[in-house]
């Protein structure tokens, strides 16, 4: 993998660029935060590893590592990035765009529908973005507030509430503010889907 690192770097940059341009063209009315979420659904280790598997790319990797590192998700993602980097160096940008059109973009609808690629906070934000009023300049997004902290420092619990358009959706508790926010988002999503 060491020899491929510069190609991985190039491939990752090209993938980010091509995907950003595609989303910009196809979702012109979407908020920047939403576009970033959609891009992260495609340009991430899990998705890249799935595409690497679908194309059987690991069979073509010359690997001297006895541990067979190429079977890890991160390594599969790196293989795909290195391939895109090599494709760009050898053939230019257009074949990279075609590759993304064939292998990446058809997955976008599936990701949007099942949202398995998102954590609870991202999912909740996306739900709220889809509820936005197009006439508003800025879309409404969930706002998290710490209600109280309880307990001593080493076992402190943070009670967090999430609000949307001024209305409290749910609360959560965690050993960090981030944990509390995530639980509040999870509870809000349960209420929405129930």
pLDDT for residue 172:
96
DSSP string over 18-71: HHHHHHHHH-TTS-HHHHHHHHHHHSSHHHHHHHHHHTTGGGG-----TT-GGG
| CATH superfamily, domain at 2-116 | Ribonuclease III domain (1.10.1520.10)
User: Is the Cβ–Cβ distance between 114 and 40 less than 8 Å?
Assistant: no
Segments making up each domain of the chain, as ranges: 2-116, 122-193
Which two three-digit tokens encode residue 122?
């991202």
Instruction: List 162's β-bridge partners, or say none.
Output: 144, 170
User: Is the Cβ–Cβ distance between 58 and 73 less than 8 Å?
Assistant: no
Is 122-193 in the same CATH topology as 2-116?
no
Longest dimension (CA), the chain: 61
Q: If you search the block for the tokens 């590759």, which residue do you land on?
A: 99
Give mean pLDDT in consecutive 10-residue pieces for the chain, a chain of 194 residues: 82 96 84 78 89 92 62 90 97 97 85 65 78 62 94 91 90 94 90 56
Q: Rounded CA gap, 142 and 165, in Å?
A: 8
Can you list the alpha helix ranges (DSSP code H) found in the chain? 5-26, 32-42, 45-54, 73-91, 93-103, 106-114, 120-130, 177-193
* Domain over 122-193 is classified CATH 3.30.160.20: yes
Of 191, 173, 181, nearest to 127 (Cα)? 191
Question: Please, how many CA atoms are within 13 Å of residue 127, restricted to the half-sphere of its CB?
Answer: 21
CA–CA distance from 110 to each of 50, 132, 175 (Å)? 14, 22, 34
- Global pTM value: 0.58
Q: Rounded CA gap, 60 and 52, in Å?
A: 11
Q: How many other C-beta atoms lie within 10 A of the C-beta of residue 129?
A: 17
């Amino acid at each position: 993998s060491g020899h491929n690192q510069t190609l991985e770097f190039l491939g990752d940059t090209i993938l980010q660029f091509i995907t950003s341009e595609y989303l910009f063209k196809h979702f012109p009315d979407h908020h920047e935060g939403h576009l970033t979420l959609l891009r992260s659904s495609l340009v991430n280790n899990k998705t890249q590893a799935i595409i690497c598997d679908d194309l059987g790319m690991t069979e073509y990797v010359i690997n001297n590592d006895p541990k067979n590192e190429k079977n890890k998700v991160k390594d599969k993602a790196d293989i795909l990035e290195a391939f895109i980097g090599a494709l760009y160096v050898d053939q230019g940008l257009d074949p990279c765009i075609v590759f993304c059109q064939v292998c990446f973009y058809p997955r976008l609808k599936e990701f949007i529908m099942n949202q398995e690629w998102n954590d609870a906070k991202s999912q909740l934000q996306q739900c709220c973005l889809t509820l936005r009023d197009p006439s508003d300049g800025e879309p409404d997004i969930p706002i998290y507030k710490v209600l109280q902290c309880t307990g001593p420092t080493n076992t402190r619990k943070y009670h967090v509430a999430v609000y949307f358009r001024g209305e409290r959706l749910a609360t959560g508790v965690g050993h960090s503010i981030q944990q509390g926010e995530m639980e509040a988002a999870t509870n809000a999503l349960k209420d929405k889907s129930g």
